[in-house]
Each structure stands twice: as structure tokens, then as C-alpha cells.
Amino acid sequence: MTAPAPPQTPAEARRLVTAFLADHDPRGGDDLEFLRARFDAGLARVSWPHGLGGLGASSALDGPVDDAFAAAGAPDNRPHSNIIGLGMAAPTLLAFGTPDQQHRWLRPLWTHEDVWCQLFSEPGAGSDLAAVATSAVRDGDDWVVNGQKVWTSLAHESRWALLVARTDPKAPKHRGLTYFVCDMDAPGVDVRPLRQITGETEFNEVFLDDVRVPDDQRIGEVGAGWRVTQGTLMNERVAIGGATPPREGGPIGTLAQHWREHPEDRTAGLHDEVLRLWVDAEALRLTSARLTQQLLAGQPGPEGSGAKLAYASLAQRTSAAELGVLGGEALRYDDWTARRPVVGDLAERTPGFRFLRAKANSIEGGTSEVLRNIIAERVLGLPGEPRADRDTPWEDLPR
């Protein structure tokens, strides 16, 4: 069967959806089979390549396709519960994976058959990710991995993980890394929950004890893992800070709604602060729309660091202002049970939860301090900080 030509306009994209729905009932069948058929028809992400869930169309048409399926009541692939897979693993596989790897992993990733996580940060290598100590030693057709990772979202639900490990300790830290896909069900993988300030165990620490990773699960060349890692991180920052909500979506929405509905809580000082937050949220929303197009086109750049930095600050300021508007009522937060997180819209949670959870925004996906350095050097062109360890073998660095 000949694949359809890439649509050129939103109208053409919607016609492809209409034709697909004529042969596939969006409401009366098996959701997984529907999603598989949608992927095979090239309508998962029409901007992805032919044969890999797409039609090679413009990334600007992905939104109209998703909207058309949603309007028809079609099942979605629960994107909020596989954000690492969709936002980081898929772009990495498309940019750096072999054809066999792309065909192996992209379809079950997009259909939500496989959830993905990210084994990057370590207790001694978070902001300085290139200092990771987890080792991978070649043994025939496999690599034997030993080490510890931390702050791993969704590790307790994941089938696969993006893994960066050190394969040459004698090379400088940025040049001795290799990138893998790790099977989270493999012997030697131990996932343990980490409880955070909200009471939830959203993150995990992961111990890797003689975990065998086949060489055909290596992404990129041996020793070239830092290049692949940078591609993943740029997609991550856009995925966190560059998502495009509707106007008054996200944290500003609940604050604005309460402000309108409860005039008794307004004060002069808070009025100015809420107005500033609304303007900043709208500016970030419009900027994020441009960054989302770069991401979907496979062209993430350092601008994503700016979006993520702005999002973290805005979320924290907005949640603090919400507590100010609510006064003493905002202090009601009594759900401290250790539990796995509830995936959903933060607007459905309590103001106290939003305030506490926002504290992590300036750490996860790259700390705000590191992102400021990236913006200074790669966007503004300012001189970089001295890096005495650039050419020192990793094994000789103090740890």
C-alpha cells in the first residue's frame, strides 16, 4: 500500500483523519488497536518520518491532527503519563537511533505500551552531569553496568530507560561517556522510592548491579554519549518549560479564576502582583509556542533553557501569590501519606500542594543556576566560566 503524500495544510491533515476514522471506530473498539492503527497510518505525529508514525509533514500540522482526533472522541496515548518517552526518548531515537532501534521502540512508546524513564543524575553528578560515575564495561556483545542513579521520575512504571554511563574513565569527563537504552526489567535493576516534601514518592533512586545491556541497545558511537545526552537535555527543557497551554492555562489559571470569583480576597498590593504574573504567563505562552515548533521539527536549541528557567520562576511566584490571596485558608494541607503520584492537572490539587511542588521546578530538568550559565554562554555569547577539568582524565578528578 502506498503511503499518502504529506499534507500541506490543516485542511488536508483533517481530511486524512476523517478518512482514517471512516475505517476505524474511535469509540467502539479496542483503544490499543486503534492507537496502533493510527501510528501505522502515519497519523501519530505527521511530522515524523514515513514508516515511523508520521508522513514527513510540517510539525505545524501535528496539532490540527491531534485536535481532529480529540473532537471525534478518539482515545489518546495518555501523554502526561509518559512525558519522558514522548518528550525525550522519541526525539532522541529519531535524531540518533538506528533504523532498527527506531522501528523497535517508537511504536510501543507512542501507543503507551512502554513507559520510559531517564537514568541520568547521580548522587555525585546532578548539575555536573558529565561527571557521572556509573560504569559500563564491554563483555562480548553486552555491556555490564554498575552504579546508582537518582531523582528518576516514573522509574517504578517504566519498561525502558535512557542511560548515560562511563565507558572510558581515562578520558576527560565529557569524552568518556556512552549512551544506552536500559531494560528496566533486567536482572540487577533495583528501583526504590524517594519521598518528597509533598508526601508523594514521585521520584526514585535506581541501583544498577551487574546489569547487562546488549550492544544493539547503544545509541550513537562509543564515547560519543555526551552529544546524544545534550540532545536529550535540550528536548527535556523544552518539554518542561516550552509546552504551550491555552491562555490562562497552567498555574496562572487557578489564580486568575479565584481572583475574579472572590473580590473579598483582593488587596491593592496583590492586584499589581497578579497582573504582573498574568502578563508574564502570557508572554511565556507565546514564546513557548515558537519553541514547541522547534522541538517538533527536531531542532531543540539553548532557547529551551530560557523557557524552562522562566517557567520555574513563574510557577513558584504564582503559587506563592495564590497563598497570599487565600490567606490562612491556604495553609490547609494534611495529605502527607507516602504514595505514588497522581498524574493529572495541577489545577485539581490543593493550593498548598501546588506551592510545595513548585519548589522542584527550579531543580528538575536542569537547575536554574546551570540554565543561566547556558543562556549567558550559548545565547548571549558571554565568556564562559573557567573549566580547569575540561582536559583532565575523569579518573583523576576529585570526587
Quick check: 168 and 131 in contact, CB under 8 A?
no
**236 counts as catalytic:** yes
Quick check: 131 and 166 in contact, CB under 8 A?
no
Q: How many CB atoms lie within 10 A of CB 388?
A: 7
CA-derived radius of gyration, the chain: 22
Catalytic residue among 236, 273, 364, 377: 236
User: 161: closest CA among 219, 234, 209?
Assistant: 219
Residue 395: alpha-carbon gap to chain centroid: 31
Distances (CA, A) of 333 to 199, 203, 217, 343: 10, 21, 45, 19
The phi and psi torsions of 389 (rounded to 5 degrees) equal: -95, 10
CA distance 87 to 235: 7
User: 111: closest CA among 142, 145, 147, 86?
Assistant: 86
User: 143: closest CA among 48, 222, 82?
Assistant: 222
CA distance 190 to 315: 33
Residues annotated catalytic, as ranges: 236
